[in-house]
Chains A and B, each alone.
Chain A
């Protein structure tokens, strides 16, 4: 599913503000990715606990037959993981695109496409972050809760944070691309199995 391309192992030793911005975005993206990892572990454990309770409670009647929040919370963890890990995944050059256009031999062309797509990505991810932030604030204001009485602003705030991580990485990528830096850092993240 994942193919690495268009990146270089030895990053240019870029300096100045753009480089600092990119480093900051990388740190934030990596933290986001680790929280995303914890979300995936948490959702796995939650689903396992629910499965175990459903079977065990038939043998041991004193046990509850489920956590009653498993369906809901595992979905919150999933959504959080999807967005919180997206900044790091983007920086590692793994987010999918139609690669033909990006593999042109003419470097100026590749860079132009890269800058355009970073700009588009910045506009979309920044808008989504702002919209999600206001959405979360409205939900908080209305005091909306889910069927399990969980305040909905909490998972929404985590999604907002995740979109924010992606937006930050997009902005850094745009600046890096404009200033001629290396946009993909293959070393960020894991030596992934090809999925």
Chain B
């Protein structure tokens, strides 16, 4: 009997954590209880987002639900999914993954682990207090982003991006220290953004996925039969998990609308202006992550 621990830094109740629990139950069933996985949420095992990959590599934990783009500190290629303004829907993301995922799988192996499944975070939006007609409207608005990539992107579009921990965000919004946020719709509901913000812009400025990985030494110690069963469960559940993410997005937008927020579709003019900026943002991105260029080129050629 193999008992595995899975580390997740996301809080209880987050859909990625719920997915991981569904996966754990399915694995226990598929292996007749031979392999059991305990999901430890909210970083309770002591790891932070950026060191989850290293923790699995060194065998400090058997499995982890890893935010891939947070691993750029180990290898810039982990940032390849976050190319600004490249992908505009989850279906396009699926196509992009056809090129990206083999690269990530190779990369994961270098770090002594195997990717079992990957699930994207829902689409990204910018939430503001004001209605914006053209790109000048974004100018100078202090907007919070969770990481450097997001902050760089919103800054390039003209906003004043600030990196700020989630815990500081709500007081900062309440006091008007920031007047906007760039994040997913599910996070928007978590933070009850309608108490502070009014307009939702579907900017799709970037995408990012989590990968559930397992340490290779641990993996190899599991019987062939059970490994096959686990792989089958992962392959079987992954599309469902993508649907959970997509549904989470739809439900959250609905919740925010019901609470008085307005989803503002980007006008063609605004989209054009953003696309103009996007070129230079992408250029800066590829300067930082040159290894992403061939993957993106292959994806673009396929379209």
Query: A: which residues have CB within 8 A of B?
Result: 54, 57-58, 61, 65-66, 68, 71, 142, 144-148, 152
Contacts and interface: CB of A to CB of B under 8 A. Distances in A.
B162 A66 contact: yes
A152 B50 CA distance: 12
B137 interface: no
Interface of B: 50, 54, 72-74, 140, 142, 147-148, 151, 160, 162-165, 177
B74 A144 contact: yes
B148 A65 contact: no
A95 to B, nearest CB: 23
24 contacts: A54-B162, A54-B177, A58-B142, A61-B140, A65-B142, A65-B160, A66-B162, A68-B151, A68-B163, A71-B163, A71-B164, A71-B165, A144-B54, A144-B73, A144-B74, A145-B73, A146-B73, A147-B50, A147-B72, A147-B73, A147-B147, A147-B163, A148-B148, A152-B73
Nearest to B74: A144
A61 B54 CA distance: 41
B contact face: mostly helix, strand, loop, or mixed: mixed
B92 to A, nearest CB: 27
B220 to A, nearest CB: 23
| Consensus secondary structure, chain A interface | loop
By Cβ-Cβ distance, the 9 closest A-B pairs, closest first, are A145-B73, A147-B148, A144-B73, A65-B160, A144-B74, A146-B73, A65-B162, A147-B147, A66-B162
A127 B177 CA distance: 45
A54 B73 CA distance: 27
Contacts of A146: 50, 73
A54 B74 CA distance: 31
A61 B163 CA distance: 18
Contacts of A145: 73
